């Protein structure tokens, strides 16, 4: 079975029911439209409505139209089509249209610079690019250079001269299924790594990965026909899309919210009667801060349908979840762990029944195996730190055009995650840190995540990142970059006093107060922090040494 068959099944069974809703909270509330193909294609209204929606039947037809457009232009099975769009109602039909044509979907990070876009298009051998108005200034210079792009499609009004109107062209294409046979062993998509160690790597997945992700997600969170999933993270990322795959498998509605303000999230849950929401750590923190400070009043929102909040994409502070459960004691909570190399979330899964183990990422997810090994690949004893490895049907095929990196990452079918972890006596796995983020100070291994979790328990701290700084005597010392909650003051002396509960070698030796930078998937941008704080110190350390 391939994932496009799920869309076709939903179109047959639930054709007139709502599949997707797009909410633009910064727009006027009375601008509401239903996605009718003719109206949207012929409209010259450039205003973005507050709310748009689309049925399963429209979803499938639009995917078919885009697939047939690609085929009519001579694209063939295995060609690559890149998507550079903000979250919108057009995103998923285009993605599924690419798959239906037998092509490979290549979702791209909307924060990529011009150089990164060019690099990724070249790395993935992209033949066609689809982009939106937000990216014109970054795409313009690329069209002046020699590249392999055969076509450039534009989604929006008044596109640049070098592009073609995607929606208009689709209106001339058949809405019947394209004549392309697909198999779960066919290549389906190329995703990009987070690029935390330089330019991103291209991650190749088969259709088998995508359909296995649907099954894992639905098994973990029990999506039913009457569930409504609130999706906020960017769809280019495996996390958002693969959590939505549970809605695809169950034929249930999903809401794409274009905004992360606490009141916008609560309003979307209230108005759309959402039952499941997936949050990143910063958004959950902002929500709790707004509630606890009185900036938002929960009595103004209808939250009776909300049954589950799950979180992932980065280590989750136990203190945050304890705060959440205090305010929402009747909600289920779950943590999911995964990587783009493992087709996103779920290879490790806490489970809603294991809230007593908050702080752990869980056990092997549905259809997955996990282990923790030392530097020689041998299983570590319980309680000892080693590298987390995972195995299952969602493991990537390879890093595209990078056999050396593939061989370093996949060994005997096991994916080496680069995350350091340990397992407790009950078999629950706890993340310790990224392998490359471990700070070695005076011969001691220090795991920044453990210090970050400790510091987040201080009631004045909103966010924190811990990195290693070069030191002539100890090799490295720890530094804490601390973001204070709005309206509060905090001194270095207060932080040092709080840290007296830590072992002396784990206490931060340097403290900086500033906003903690995070990428669109919520991960702390530690390379940027190292670039800022380590560069001068490295030279000083070398001279001193």
Q: Is the pLDDT of residue 45 over 90?
A: no
SS3 track for 366-424 = CCCEEEEECCCCCECCCCCCEEEEEECCCCCCEECCCHHHHHHHEECCEEEEEEEEEEC
CA dist 207 and 476 (Å) reads 44
State the Cα–Cα distance between residues 251 and 253, nearest whole angstrom: 7
Is pLDDT above 50 for 274?
yes
Q: Which strands form 510-513's sheet, in the order they lie side by side? A: 461-471, 475-484, 510-513
With 0-12 / 13-18 / 19 or more C-beta atoms within 10 angstroms meaning exposed / middle / buried, residue 279 is buried
Which pLDDT does position 539 carry in this prediction?
36
Burial category of 292 from C-beta neighbours within 10 Å (exposed 0-12, middle 13-18, buried 19 and up): middle
Structure letter (DSSP) for residue 483: E
- pLDDT at residue 38 above 60? no
Average pLDDT over the chain, rounded to an integer = 88
Average pLDDT over residues 400-407: 95
**Spatial distance between the Cα atoms of 321 and 334, rounded to a whole number of angstroms:** 10
Q: What pLDDT, on the 0 to 100 scale, is given for residue 185?
A: 97
Check if the beta carbon of residue 90 is closer than 8 Å to that of residue 155: yes
Per-residue CA distances from 27 to 23, 45, 49, 51, 442 (Å): 9, 14, 6, 9, 55
Q: How far is it, in rounded angstroms, from Cα 61 to Cα 314?
A: 36
pLDDT at position 315, please?
65
What are the structure tokens assigned to 54, written together? 């689309």
Predicted model pTM: 0.82
Q: Is residue 208 scored above 80 in pLDDT?
A: yes
Tell me: pLDDT of 44 over 50: no
pLDDT at 138: 93
Number of other residues whose CB lies within 10 A of the CB of residue 88: 19
Band of residue 28 on the pLDDT scale cut at 50, 70, 90:
low
Contact 466, 452 (CB under 8 A): yes
Which pair of structure tokens corresponds to residue 172? 């001339």
Q: Among the listed ranges 79-88, 201-210, 404-413, 532-541, which one has the minimum average pLDDT value?
A: 532-541
**Secondary structure class of 202 (helix, strand, coil):** strand
Q: Which of 196-200, 242-246, 393-397, 514-518 has the lowest mean pLDDT?
A: 196-200
Per-residue pLDDT band at 445 (split at 50, 70, 90): confident
pLDDT of res. 536: 57
**In this model, does residue 33 exceed pLDDT 50?**
no
Closest CA to 59 of 126, 127, 13, 1: 13
336-354: per-residue pLDDT in tens?
A: 888 899 998 899 999 999 9
User: Cα 11 from chain centroid?
Assistant: 27
Q: Model confidence at 47, in pLDDT bands (50, 70, 90)?
A: low
The answer to whether residue 540 scores a pLDDT higher than 70 is no
Output the pLDDT for position 98.
98
Give residue-wise pLDDT tens across range 51-81.
999 999 999 999 999 999 999 999 999 999 9
Measured CA to CA, the distance from residue 346 to residue 27 in angstroms comes to: 35
pLDDT at 437: 77
CB 465 within 8 A of CB 524: yes
Which homologous superfamily is 4-18+34-208 in? ANL, N-terminal domain (3.40.50.12780)
- pLDDT per position as a tens digit, 459-488: 899 999 998 888 766 778 899 999 999 889
- State the Cα–Cα distance between residues 539 and 545, nearest whole angstrom: 10
Instruction: Please state the rounded mean pLDDT for residues 499-509.
Output: 87
Percent of all residues in the chain with a pLDDT value above 70, rounded to a whole number? 90
pLDDT at residue 519, as a whole number? 73
Q: Which residue has the higher pLDDT, 33 or 385?
A: 385
The residue ranges of every structural domain in the chain are 4-18+34-208, 438-544
Q: Please, which pLDDT band fits residue 294 given cuts at 50, 70 and 90? A: very high
pLDDT at 474: 75
Residue 270 is classified by DSSP as H
Fold of the CATH domain 438-544: GMP Synthetase; Chain A, domain 3 (3.30.300)
């Amino acid at each position: 079975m391939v994932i496009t068959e799920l869309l076709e099944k939903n179109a047959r069974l639930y054709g007139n029911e709502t599949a997707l809703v797009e909410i633009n909270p910064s727009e006027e509330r009375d601008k509401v439209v239903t996605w009718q193909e003719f109206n949207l294609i012929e409209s010259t209204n450039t205003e973005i409505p507050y709310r748009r929606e689309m049925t399963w039947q429209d979803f499938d037809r639009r995917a078919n139209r885009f697939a047939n457009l690609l085929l009519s232009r001579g694209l063939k099975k295995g060609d690559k089509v890149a998507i550079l769009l903000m979250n919108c109602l057009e995103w998923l039909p285009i993605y599924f249209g690419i798959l239906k044509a037998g092509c490979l979907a290549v979702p791209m990070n909307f924060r990529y610079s011009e150089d990164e876009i060019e690099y990724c298009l070249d790395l993935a051998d992209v033949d066609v690019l689809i982009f939106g108005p937000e990216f014109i200034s970054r795409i313009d210079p690329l069209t002046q250079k020699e590249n392999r792009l055969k076509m450039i499609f534009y989604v929006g009004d008044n596109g640049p001269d070098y592009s073609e109107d995607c929606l208009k062209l689709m209106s001339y294409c058949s809405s019947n299924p394209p004549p392309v046979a697909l198999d779960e062993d066919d290549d389906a998509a190329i995703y990009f790594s987070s690029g935390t160690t330089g330019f991103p790597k291209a991650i190749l997945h088969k259709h088998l990965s995508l359909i296995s992700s649907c099954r894992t997600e639905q098994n973990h969170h029990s999506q039913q026909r009457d569930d409504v999933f609130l999706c906020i993270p960017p769809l280019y990322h495996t996390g958002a899309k693969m959590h939505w795959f549970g809605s695809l498998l169950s034929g249930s509605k999903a809401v794409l919210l274009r905004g992360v303000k606490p009141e916008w999230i609560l309003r979307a849950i209230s108005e759309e009667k959402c039952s499941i929401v997936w949050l990143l750590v910063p958004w959950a923190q902002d929500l709790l801060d707004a509630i606890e400070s009185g900036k938002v009043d929960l009595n103004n929102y209808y939250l009776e349908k909300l049954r589950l909040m799950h979180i992932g994409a980065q280590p989750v502070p136990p203190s945050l979840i304890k705060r959440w459960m205090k305010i929402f004691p009747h909600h289920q909570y779950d943590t999911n762990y995964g990587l783009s190399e493992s087709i996103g979330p779920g290879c490790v899964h806490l489970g809603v029944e294991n809230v007593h183990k908050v702080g752990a990422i869980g056990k092997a997810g549905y259809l997955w195996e996990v282990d923790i090994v030392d530097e020689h690949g041998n299983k570590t004893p319980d309680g000892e730190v080693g590298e987390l490895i995972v195995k299952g049907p969602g493991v990537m095929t390879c890093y595209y055009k990078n056999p050396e990196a593939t061989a370093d990452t996949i060994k005997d079918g096991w994916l080496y995650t680069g995350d350091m972890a340990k397992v407790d006596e009950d078999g629950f796995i706890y993340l310790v840190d990224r392998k490359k983020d471990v700070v070695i100070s005076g011969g001691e291994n220090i795991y920044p995540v453990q210090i970050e979790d400790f510091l987040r328990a201080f009631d004045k701290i909103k966010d924190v990142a811990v990195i290693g700084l070069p030191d002539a005597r100890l090799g490295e010392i720890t530094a804490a970059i601390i973001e204070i909650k709005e309206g509060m003051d905090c001194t270095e002396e207060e932080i040092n006093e709080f840290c007296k509960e830590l072992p002396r070698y784990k206490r931060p030796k340097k403290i900086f107060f500033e906003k903690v930078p995070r990428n669109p998937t919520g991960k702390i941008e530690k390379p940027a922090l190292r670039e800022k704080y380590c560069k001068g110190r490295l030279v000083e350390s070398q001279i001193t040494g």
